[in-house]
Amino acid sequence: MNKQEVLNKMKNQVLVSCQAYDENPHATVEDMVKMAVASKMSGAVGFRANSPEYVKAIREATGDDMIIIGIWKLFVPESDVYITTTLEAVDELVAAGSNVVALDCTDRINAYGYKGVSLVPQILEKYPELVIMADCSTIEEAQTAKEAGADIIASTMSGYTDYTAEKIKDDVDLELLSNMSKIEDVFVLAEGRIWTREDAVAAFKAGADCLVIGTAITNPWKITERFVKAKDKYFS
C-alpha cells in the first residue's frame, strides 16, 4: 500500500495496540499475535506493535492487507524519551513490515541529543511512501510535527510528559483532539485512555480520524484491576 492507501484504510476505523511488557503475564510474542488475530476477526484494520520482532510476527499472522504502526521503545537510563528515537530503528521497523512508523515528537531532547521531530525529514527522504506518525502531548507539538512533514498527529503522549502530567486521569484528551482537528491537511489519531465505546465515539466527535485502543482490549490484568478498584471504592 502506498501512503494515501494506508491513510484511506485507516480513516474512521479502529486499530488495536498489541503491546505487553515483562510484568504482564501476556507479554509474549505469541500472546500479542493472538490478540492481533482476534482484533482482525472483530473488524480492526490494523495494530500498533513494539519492536521489529513483534511487527514481523503480527505481519506474518495477519497478512499484508492490515495496517501496522511500528514503534520501538528503546529505553536509555535517565531518559523519558524512548519511542523510535533513531533512524536505524526506523529501518528495522520498515524491514519488519510496518506501514506506519510512530515516533516521540514531544518537545523533549532524547538520549542522543536531539528531538524526535528532527528525524521526520530524514525519514521522508529515505522512505517517501512510509506514513509517519507523530506521538504528541500538546497542540504546539502537533503543529511542529505537521510542519516537519508528519502524516499523522496523535494524542498518544498527552499526560505522559512532565508539562502535561496533570492530564493523567481516566479521560480521553478531547480538548487536544479538537484542537488537532483544526490543523489543516493533517490526519488526527486518538490514542490514550480510550476505555469504553462512549470514549471511542467521543474521540471521533472531537475530530479524530481514527483510533488506537490498547489496554482496554489487550490487557486483562489492567481491565480486571479497574473493576477491582471500582469495587473497593464502592465498599470503602
The pLDDT of residue 155: 98
Digit-coded pLDDT (tens) for 149-173 = 999 999 999 999 999 998 777 789 9
CA distances (Å), origin 188, targets 85, 208, 229:
21, 5, 32
Sign of the torsion formed by the C-alpha atoms of 98, 49, 10 and 41: positive
Task: Give me the residue label for grid cell 508539562.
Answer: 163
What's the pLDDT at 157? Answer: 97
Q: Give, in words, the CATH class of 3-235.
A: alpha beta
Beta-carbon neighbour count of residue 136 at 10 Å? 30
Other CB atoms within a 10 A radius of the CB of residue 49 amount to 31
Neighbours of 113 (CB within 10 A): 6
> pLDDT tens digits for 168-227?
777 899 999 999 999 999 999 999 999 999 999 999 999 999 999 999 999 999 999 999
Judged by average pLDDT, the poorest of 14-28, 75-89, 190-204 is 14-28
pTM: 0.96
